[in-house]
Amino acid sequence: MFPTPQRLGGYLWKIPYKMSQLQKARQRKRLRAVDNVIATVGAALNAKNISLRKLDYLTSAAFPKESEMPAKDKYWIFSKYGRNYRKGAHRQPKFTKISNRTVPPGF
Amino acid sequence: MNMWFRVTQKRSVIGLPKRLRETALALGLKKRGRITYHPVNRENAGQILTLKELVEVQIVDKPLERHQETLLKRRPSGYTVEKPANSQ
């Protein structure tokens, strides 16, 4: 029986360094879903004239909308060890359930 | 005007930090597909924004009971009863 690439003992990365086209499409869909939640909650609070610090942060430049983000930030996040200080957004644990939209200034 | 958040849990809280799991529980979200209603106020808005990656939110005028939600989801039967058979 031919051994699998993993069994051969090679240096095999099982998580690709970049996201596939379909992963990126689903990533955009999730970003938009979060944008919708923020917009809906924001509209409700505005109608009732309630202010909320968390909402201010989520509507500020520190938390851009999917449509305002460059592709570089949608699919790549800051990493101090990564090439060009970036690593694929799918490399972070639970990446489908967290928001990580901006990188430190200067990167 | 009455405003309610209609919150649907879309993603599971399995493997997430305790704080998020407890926030979900505070909103009555125990598993995917659960729908809960909460009045629009600062506290509820903050909790929903904490769970923004996991839920879907709509604004509605009044909350529905859980059995009413079930009726909304039910497939139409395909026929309507015009009159009972023993109505002679």
- For A3-51, the pLDDT digits (tens) are 666 666 666 677 888 999 999 999 999 999 999 999 999 999 999 999 9
What is the radius of gyration, based on Cα positions, of chain A? 18
Mean pLDDT of the region B28-36: 95
Q: Binning pLDDT at 50, 70 and 90, where does residue B37 land? A: very high
Contact A97 B48 (CB under 8 A): no
Q: Which residue of B has its CA nearest to A54?
A: B46
Domain ranges of chain A: 21-96
User: Is B56 in a helix, a strand, or coil?
Assistant: strand
What is the pLDDT, as a whole number, of residue B88? 64
Q: How far apart are CA B44 and CA A45, in angstroms?
A: 11
A8 vs A77, residue with greater confidence: A77
Chain B residues within 8 Å of chain A (Cβ atoms)? 1, 3, 5, 10-11, 15-16, 40-42, 45-46, 48-50, 52-59
Residues A75, A18: contact at Cβ < 8 Å? yes
Both tokens of B25, joined, read 């529980």
Residue given tokens 């990365």 in the structure block: A13
At a CB cut-off of 8 Å and minimum separation 6, what does B5 contact? A41, A44, B37, B38, B39, B40, B44, B45, B48, B57, B58, B59
Q: Which residue of B has its CA nearest to A100?
A: B53
Residue B51 has pLDDT above 80, yes or no: yes
Mean pLDDT of the region B19-24: 96
ipTM for the complex shown: 0.84
Identify the CATH number of the domain defined by range B4-63.
Answer: 3.30.1390.20
What is the pLDDT, as a whole number, of residue A8? 66
Domain ranges of chain B: 4-63
